[in-house]
Amino acid sequence: MKFNIYDLTSFNQWIDKLLYDNLPAFWAMIIEMTLIGVAFLLFYAVIGLFLVYAERKVCAFIQNRVGPNRVGPYGIFQTIADFIKLLMKELIPINKADKFLFNLAPFIVIIASFMAIAAIPFGLGLHAIDFNIGVFYVMAVSSLGVIGILLAGWSSNNKYSLIGAMRSGAQIVSYELSVGMSLVTIVILAGSMQLSTIVEAQRNGWFIFTGHVPAFIAFLVFIIAGTAETNRGPFDLAEAESELTAGFHTEYSGIKFAFFFLAEYMNMFIVASIAATIFWGGWMPFHLGPIFGEWTLGFNNVMDYIPPFFWYIGKTMVVIFIMMWFKWTFPRLRIDQLLKLEWKYLLPINLFNIILMALIVLMGWHF
Amino acid sequence: MEDLILDNNTIQEEEYIINMGPQHPSTHGVLRFKVSLQGETVLNVQPHCGYIHRGIEKMCEKLTYQQIIHLTDRMDYLSAHINNEAVCLLVENALQIEVPERVKYIRTILSELTRLASHQLWWCAFGMDLGALTTYFYGLRDREPILDIFEETTGARLLQSFNTPGGLMNDIHPNFIKRVKDYIVYFRKKLPEYDELLTGNVILQERTNDVGFLTLEDAISYGVTGPSGRASGFACDIRKHHPYSAYDKVDFKEILYTKGDTFHRYKARVEEMWESLKIIEQLIDNIPDGDYTAKMKPIIKLPEGEYYQRVEAARGEFGVYILSKGEKYPYRAKFRSPNFSNLSAINKMAAGYKIADLVAISGSLDLVIPDIDR
Amino acid sequence: MNAIIDYFKELFKGIKTLLTGMKVTGYYFVHPKSIITQQYPENRKTLKMFDRFKGEVTMPHDENNQHKCTACSICEINCPNGSIEVISKQVEKADGKMKKELDVYIYKLSMCTFCGLCVKVCPQDAIIFSQGFEHAVFNKEKLIKTLNKPGSSLKEKVKVVEVS
Amino acid sequence: MNNEHLIEKIRSFDSTINITQGPQYLTLDVAPESLSKTAFMLKNNPDLSFDYLFCLTGNDLPDAYSVVYHLESIKHRHCIVLTAKAASRENPVLDTVSNIWLTADFHEREVYDLIGITFANHPDMRRIFLDEEDWVGYPLRKDYTDNNIVSR
């Protein structure tokens, strides 16, 4: 393998070796886990705060407004102020709620998103767990959040919440199919479910280019279904503030509400990360394949000077921006139309697309 | 509030009753719908109004005719100028005062600007009801110049009280004509954007087409007027059929559809914006010179009798009924507010559709709650 | 076959309408110049209300601390909300005649609906609307204002209108 | 159809009806017992077809409580005013017209709420604005008093 200046693998191995050499294996493992956990927590918080800010700014510009501009320069500390406010807010106890499940629900939602983020490769050597079933794991874990939403809706003992939770359940069960299928399309092309292998396979061109037509269709389907899975507009039926006031989190306040809020943004980040990783090569810089000729070598080298982490973040942000763009443009769908979109359009197209991709891989028609 | 306590005997086993409102984002104010649901399907909607009943009709019995006008502002605050006009026209007709032509023209232009501003705000709010949050800001952005025009001429942005019996409070501002002309040019460019963003959108089409039907017979019988009624084919435009002010001098189309679903109520309003622009364009260059008010006595006493005046407010027919005993206060004043009648048809429209459709239907009726409660 | 063609036609038509909508929002996203927000507290110095804006009722005083109000209380009669209260006093003039003069002119801003009738009917043009719009106060009592300044007097050569 | 024809037509159905020409509209005074019948006739007669009830007002007149119905025909574009006085002042009752014009449902509830005229056979005779349980009296009656009423 070619030497890469931004490869953090050796750094990680050095820390690993240092710990295991000097400490008993058990404690070394504990410290390692703690370190990774703290790093993820920090990353989680920073990304969460940033995404809230970004969403507010993006929607403000779309809507001819300035957006947050009071707290700090350009309002960059606005979300921190909001977060402090949410921390200090009273947690309103609901008399007739199922107390245990009511308190448990936000944690389930946030843990689900936390677990999913662990398997995502952020850069060369920045990869907490590299499963051989990485894609499968991320899909499975990220859909666990719906349990939290259902619990929240049910245990709030509020009619709006229950309707919202039920909608969310129907929605996620249906759209999980499309998310899975569209990823399977790429798994066929990549021949592996391991995320690191998938990224590595895109060294000579991202899958969205090498897989051309079926990969592009799969990408579109994934973006639509992924937006639906994160309960974001135009698929925000579970919250649907003009119909159900706030849907499943009507009764939540303070930090518990913040958990739902943060989890929603993190789910968006996870979906965008998967889209960037699977279709756009994750941290892999933009490379041109050898079919374009010898000169691409120089171009690829130039691209390599941009650190992989920035590639990854940049791609993810582009996907996130597209999702925000959706939300701030479209009206909300109705529940039957939501299901119609899935079962009448996305799923048949997806199934056809898998066959097409299989055919292309079989015949070697991809780049 | 006995209806908050649910009586188990009267409720069907499968029914699920939720209260939409009085504090709910889609009721646009303090209105409460008691909705019986079966799953997501609406079985029955019962509107409960009166949360902001202020007794305006009772207050009017102790106010002079000049003073009544500022209360009519506070009913349908989005068509404040038109409501003012109704009272003024009633007093003028009762006293048989001929107001100057200039006043008629200015009143008509201001009425149409009010209608435009009202329909713009409706467009924003309708988009919000359906979850397209961006429409709100585009609509308000385009409404702002109209409010500026109002502010410059009348001194207030929303509750203008610019009409007085016999004329206007003040002459139009010297900038008025130029500003209105500029605005028409500006808005003619922006209005197609509304269609691009929302009207053509496949999601909106799916959400509103074939939803919330109101037949012509029902529209007439329920007295659903304004764009909501005209979407069902109810030719109820007072401007056309009982012209007042300068409406007999302008050429405009009464937007009529026959289908009567939510989308056509939407479409009727958007098309009415174009018609309003047309009316203003015809009048703005031809405002005759003259006085801004007719000679009026300081104390107005209507001759004994019953008077009724109908005008076309932004949401439908607005009527003022005054029973005078020859004093300076009316003996009885009644306001026929368009929203009150429009609201009564909501059960007919929403029953059998989804709860999300109820939001779309009540949005398409463009309810203004103070107008219902009065 | 037609069904399949219709299926795709519907699909692409739908996608096209969605893209049309996204074009509009995208246009505004990349044109920050179209932002119309007014930065309110910062633009206080340049923010000018229209001349006719009905901010609050004020009584203009000239440089000699003189106003034009003759305490005829026509405004008080015309106010629909009772937000004006004119208290007059009898003053003995130099020539020995008793004359009605304004003592206190109370204006309750909290009750005012800005209908403009008081300003319109005033025969002396003694009260006008000022353009101030920042009415927020911490105490409701502060909204009850006395419009004539302390020690002010009636401007001379103003014909007094007597109202019985 | 002009007013003479209207009068003729209405007279041909009920010669006892009292028709006066008001400042704007023809006014029909109907006895409370024949209100329902007359209203039905006005709506369903093809020559009259008063299908649009655009205003329904309750009045507290010095001698009686009355209800004023403003009617328009969409087909013929003529208007008419129907008035009916409740017989008793203590317990004013009139027949409902909500089965003839559906909009009367809400308007009659409003009249019941504010003036206190009960409409017989109305499907849902409850107060519409004020609180059903603890509001005493009918505010638009001239003799209504309330501690909250302030006079200027």
Decide if pLDDT at A1 tops 80.
no
Burial class from Cβ neighbours inside 10 Å (0-12, 13-18, 19+) for residue C96 reads: exposed
> Scanning every residue of chain A, which has its alpha carbon at the shortest distance from the alpha carbon of B33?
A243
- Judged by a CB distance cut-off of 8 A, whether residue D60 touches chain B is yes
> Scanning every residue of chain D, which has its alpha carbon at the shortest distance from the alpha carbon of B323?
D59
Token digits for D63? 């001698």
| CB pair distance less than 8 Å for B50 and D27 | no
| CB pair distance less than 8 Å for C34 and A66 | no
Q: Hey, what amino acid is at B5?
A: I
Q: Do chains D and A touch (3 or more CB pairs under 8 A)?
A: no
Q: Which pLDDT score, from 0 to 100, does residue A289 have? A: 67
Q: How many CB pairs under 8 A join B and D?
A: 89
Per residue in C103-148, pLDDT (tens digit) is: 888 888 888 888 888 888 888 888 888 888 888 889 888 888 888 8
A-chain CB neighbours of C22 within 8 Å are 325-326, 329
Read off φ and ψ for residue B121, nearest 5 degrees. Answer: -65, -35
Work out how many domains chain B is built from and give that number: 1
The CATH number of the domain covering residues in C50-154: 3.30.70.3270
| CB pair distance less than 8 Å for C80 and B63 | yes
Q: Which pLDDT score, from 0 to 100, does residue A26 have? A: 84
Contacts of D27 (CB under 8 A, 6+ apart): B306, D19, D20, D21, D80, D81, D82, D83
What is the number of residues in chain B? 374
CA-to-CA distance for A54 and B9, rounded, in angstroms? 52
B-chain CB neighbours of A237 within 8 Å are 356
CA-to-CA distance for A116 and A269, rounded, in angstroms? 10
Q: Which pLDDT score, from 0 to 100, does residue B1 have? A: 40
B369: in domain:
no
| Of the partner residues C24, C32, C36, the one whose CB lies closest to the CB of residue A61 | C32
> Scanning every residue of chain C, which has its alpha carbon at the shortest distance from the alpha carbon of A326?
C22
- Which CATH number belongs to the domain containing residue B247 in this structure? 1.10.645.10
CA-CA-CA-CA dihedral for B126, B129, B135, B136, to nearest 10: 90
Our CA-based measurement puts residue A238 at a distance from the nearest CA of chain B, in whole angstroms, of 12
Helix (H) or strand (E) holding D40: helix D35-44
Domain range list for chain C = 2-34, 50-154
Decide if pLDDT at C82 tops 50.
yes
What average pLDDT does the structure give for chain C? 82
Q: Which residue has the tokens 């843990």?
A: A111
In this prediction, what percent of chain A has a pLDDT beyond 90? 0
| Of the partner residues D22, D103, D127, the one whose CB lies closest to the CB of residue B341 | D103
B130: in domain:
yes
Our CA-based measurement puts residue B336 at a distance from the nearest CA of chain D, in whole angstroms, of 6
Helix (H) or strand (E) holding A168: helix A159-190
Q: Which pLDDT score, from 0 to 100, does residue C163 have? A: 54
Complex-level ipTM: 0.84
> Scanning every residue of chain D, which has its alpha carbon at the shortest distance from the alpha carbon of B238?
D77
Our CA-based measurement puts residue D75 at a distance from the nearest CA of chain B, in whole angstroms, of 10
In this prediction, what percent of chain D has a pLDDT beyond 90? 0
Tell me the whole-structure pTM to 2 decimals. 0.87
* Interface of chain B toward chain A, CB-CB under 8 angstroms: 16, 18, 24-26, 40, 127-134, 136-138, 141, 197-198, 201, 203-204, 206-207, 354-357, 359
Residue numbers of the domain that contains B311: 56-341
State the sign of the Cα–Cα–Cα–Cα dihedral C120, C126, C132, C137.
negative
Token digits for B322? 């005054």
Per residue in C13-58, pLDDT (tens digit) is: 888 888 888 888 888 888 888 888 888 888 888 888 888 888 888 8
Helix (H) or strand (E) holding C129: strand C128-130
| Beta bridge partners of residue D70, listed in sequence order | D55, D81
Q: Which pLDDT score, from 0 to 100, does residue C143 have? A: 86
Q: How confident is the model at residue A90 (pLDDT cuts 50, 70, 90)?
A: confident
Token digits for A234? 């135009």
Per residue in A23-58, pLDDT (tens digit) is: 888 888 888 888 888 888 888 888 888 888 888 888
| CB pair distance less than 8 Å for C17 and B202 | yes
Question: How far is CA C15 from each of CA A220, A274, B201, D59, rounded to the nearest angstrom?
Answer: 11, 24, 9, 58
B38: in domain:
no
In this prediction, what percent of chain C has a pLDDT beyond 70? 95
Contact D141, D115 (CB under 8 A): yes
Q: Could you give all domains of chain D from N- to C-terminal order, each with its CATH number?
A: 3-88 (3.30.460.80)
Contacts 24+ apart (CB under 8 A), C27-33: C28/A61, C28/A62, C28/A63, C28/A64, C29/A58, C29/A61, C29/A62, C29/A325, C32/A61
CA-to-CA distance for B129 and B126, rounded, in angstroms? 5
Q: Which residue has the tokens 């070394």?
A: A28
Q: Which pLDDT score, from 0 to 100, does residue A70 have? A: 84
Mutate to test the interface with C, among A56, A57, A62 (most CBs of C within 10 A): A62
CA-to-CA distance for A201 and A204, rounded, in angstroms? 7
CA-to-CA distance for B253 and B92, rounded, in angstroms? 28
| CB pair distance less than 8 Å for D70 and B319 | yes
The number of CA neighbours under 13 Å toward the Cβ of C125 is 1
| CB pair distance less than 8 Å for A329 and C35 | no
Q: How confident is the model at residue C6 (pLDDT cuts 50, 70, 90)?
A: confident
Contacts of B96 (CB under 8 A, 6+ apart): none
Our CA-based measurement puts residue A105 at a distance from the nearest CA of chain C, in whole angstroms, of 35
B109 — alpha (psi -120 to 50), left (phi > 0) or beta?
alpha
Question: How far is CA B157 from each of CA A249, B144, B154, B175, C50, rounded to the nearest angstrom?
Answer: 37, 9, 8, 16, 11
Q: Do chains A and C touch (3 or more CB pairs under 8 A)?
A: yes
Q: What is the pLDDT along chain B (374 residues), one digit of tens a residue?
A: 444 444 555 555 667 888 887 888 777 778 888 888 887 788 888 888 888 888 888 888 888 888 888 888 888 888 888 888 888 888 888 888 888 888 888 889 888 999 999 999 999 888 888 888 888 888 888 888 899 888 888 888 888 888 888 888 888 888 888 888 899 999 898 888 888 888 888 888 888 888 888 888 888 888 888 888 888 888 888 888 888 888 888 888 888 888 888 899 898 888 888 888 888 888 888 888 888 888 888 788 888 888 888 888 888 889 899 888 888 888 888 888 888 888 888 888 888 888 888 888 888 888 888 888 88
B362: in domain:
no
| CB pair distance less than 8 Å for C34 and A330 | no
Q: Which residue has the tokens 């050898």?
A: A290
| Beta bridge partners of residue C102, listed in sequence order | C88
Contact B321, A129 (CB under 8 A): no
- Judged by a CB distance cut-off of 8 A, whether residue A328 touches chain C is yes
Question: How far is CA C92 from each of CA A276, B204, C66, C86, C89, rounded to the nearest angstrom?
Answer: 91, 76, 18, 19, 10
| CB pair distance less than 8 Å for A62 and B134 | yes
Q: List all chains that touch chain B, counting a touch as 3 or more CB pairs closer than 8 Å.
A: A, C, D
Burial class from Cβ neighbours inside 10 Å (0-12, 13-18, 19+) for residue B161 reads: buried
Q: Which pLDDT score, from 0 to 100, does residue A238 have? A: 74
Q: List all chains that touch chain A, counting a touch as 3 or more CB pairs closer than 8 Å.
A: B, C
Task: Determine how many CB atoms are found less than 10 A away from the CB of residue D6.
Answer: 20
Contact B129, B363 (CB under 8 A): yes
Q: How many CB pairs under 8 A join A and B?
A: 79
State the DSSP string of A87-102: HHS--PPPTTS-HHHH
